[in-house]
Amino acid sequence: MANRNSKETQSRPVIERTCHPGLEMGIDPSTDPKPVLGEGVRSFADRYDLFLVDQWGVLHDGRTAYPGVANCLRRLLSLGKRVVVLSNSGKRVEDNAARLESMGIGRDCYTALITSGEIARERLSARAQPFLPSMGRRCLLLNSAGEGSLMEGLDIELVETVVGADFILLAGTRDDRPMAFYQQILEYARSHQVPLICANPDLVRLSPKGLVFSAGEVARRYEQMGGPVRYIGKPYPMIYEHCRKVLPGFDASRVIAVGDSFFHDVMGGARSGLATAFVTEGIHKDDFPISMDDAGRLQKLAEIARDYGVWPNWVIRQFRW
C-alpha cells in the first residue's frame, strides 16, 4: 500500500479553530448522533447523487494513486452518480487533471474537477470578491516552483517584491524557500496592511523531503500577525458556493463531501449543510491503526470530534468500493 503521509501536523491542529472562530460548529460530540462505520463507499453510495471527493490522502499521496480508487470512482459513475474532485490545490484545473491522469486516474473517472486555484483565477479576472478593483493591479504571486499558468492572460501586473505589491496571491509554497523567506515578506506586508488572498488553505504538503509547511500555514501566520487575509478553498464558504453555482441540480440533501481532513473536509462540508464521509487512512492514519476495533474507532473519533466540534456522518478506512 502507498504511504499515506499527513498534509496537516501530526497532532490535531486545534489552533485552527481558535484562529477562525467563525468556523466553529458548536456541536456536542457527547450528545449528537454518532457516525456510521462503513466498509467502503458502497455503504452509502445509494443515499447520495453527488460526491465531492478530496484529492490528497483520499485518491493519492501526491505521487501514486491508492489501490482501488479508480475502480471506486468508475463504479459510482456507472450507477449514475456525479463525482466531483474538489481540491484545495492552488493550481488550475488542467494542471490537476494532468497530474491525476499520470497516476492512472483518468478523466473518465470523474464528472468534474474543481480547484481553489481555478476559482481564484476566475474571481481575479472578474475582479469579484475578494479581488475588488480598489485592491489595485500589482500582484505578488507566491506559488510552487514551475507553476506560472495561474495568471496567464489576466490584466494583472506581476511584481517581484512585496514592496511594489497592491496585494499578495498565495497559491503555493516552494521546497527551496524556508519559512524565513516568507516571514520577511509577511513582516513588510503587515506593516503596510497589504491584503493576502490564500488560494490553498492546506497547512502542510507532501514534498520529496517529506512533510513540509504549505500556503495555509503562511496565511495563518500572517493572520496571527494582524495582516488582512481572505481564503479561497475548503473549509471556507466560497468554494462550496461555487459548487452550488456551477453544478446543476445541486440538492444539498443528496450531496456528500468525502475527505480525510476533519478541518477542511468534515467541518467545511458540515458548515455548508452537506453530509460528510471521513476517510481514516489519510492524514489521521496514526490515530486509527488497522488493529483498532469499532469501539476504539468510535472512541478516537469522539476525541477528534471534540477538538473540531463536528461529527462526520460516515467513516470509512479508504476510498474503496
CATH number of 15-88+235-316: 3.40.50.1000
Q: How far apart, in whole angstroms, are the C-alpha atoms of residue 209 and residue 212? A: 8
Residue (of 33, 86, 9) closest to 241 by Cα position: 86
Verdict on whether the full-model pTM lies above 0.85: yes
Q: pLDDT at position 16, please?
A: 41
Q: pLDDT at position 18, please?
A: 37
Q: How far apart, in whole angstroms, are the C-alpha atoms of residue 223 and residue 217? A: 10
Give 240-295 pLDDT, tens digit per residue.
999 999 999 999 999 999 999 898 999 999 999 999 999 998 878 888 998 999 99
The whole-number average pLDDT for the span 39-65 is 95
Q: pLDDT at position 211, please?
A: 67
Residue (of 288, 314, 290) closest to 303 by Cα position: 288
Q: How far apart, in whole angstroms, are the C-alpha atoms of residue 211 and residue 186? A: 22
State the residue for C-alpha cell 484529492: 55
Whether 123-231 and 15-88+235-316 are alike in CATH topology: the answer is yes
- Assigned C-alpha cell, 223: 493572520
Q: How far apart, in whole angstroms, are the C-alpha atoms of residue 67 and residue 284? A: 18
Q: pLDDT at position 109, please?
A: 98
Give 170-204 pLDDT, tens digit per residue.
999 998 899 999 999 999 999 999 999 999 999 87
CATH 3.30.1280.10 describes domain 123-231: no
Residue (of 79, 78, 118) closest to 97 by Cα position: 118
Cα 190 to its chain centre, rounded Å, is 26
| Strand runs labelled E in 192-231 | 196-198, 204-207, 210-213, 229-231
Residue (of 263, 247, 43) closest to 255 by Cα position: 247
Sheet containing strand 229-231, strands side by side? 157-158, 138-142, 167-170, 196-198, 229-231
Handedness of CA 112, 278, 304, 1 (dihedral sign): negative
Using DSSP bridges, classify how beta strands 204-207 and 196-198 pair: parallel, antiparallel or unpaired: unpaired
**Tally of CA atoms within 13 A in the half-sphere of 163 that contains its CB:** 2
| Strand runs labelled E in the chain | 36-37, 50-53, 82-87, 112-115, 138-142, 157-158, 167-170, 196-198, 204-207, 210-213, 229-231, 255-259, 275-279, 314-316
Using DSSP bridges, classify how beta strands 275-279 and 255-259 pair: parallel, antiparallel or unpaired: parallel
Hey, where are the domains in the chain? 15-88+235-316, 123-231
Q: Which has more confidence, 5 or 129?
A: 129
The whole-number average pLDDT for the span 44-51 is 98
Residue (of 236, 177, 184) closest to 209 by Cα position: 177
Q: What percent of the chain has a predicted confidence (pLDDT) above 90?
A: 72
Q: What percent of the chain has a predicted confidence (pLDDT) above 70?
A: 87
Give 153-173 pLDDT, tens digit per residue.
999 999 999 999 999 999 999
Judge contact between 144 and 99, C-beta under 8 A.
no
Q: pLDDT at position 3, please?
A: 39
> What is the b/e burial string over 244-280, where b = at least 16 CB atoms within 10 angstroms of the residue's CB?
eeebeebeeeebbbbbbbbbbbbbbbbbbebbbbbbb
What band does 30 get if pLDDT is binned at 50, 70 and 90?
low
Judge contact between 79 and 286, C-beta under 8 A.
no
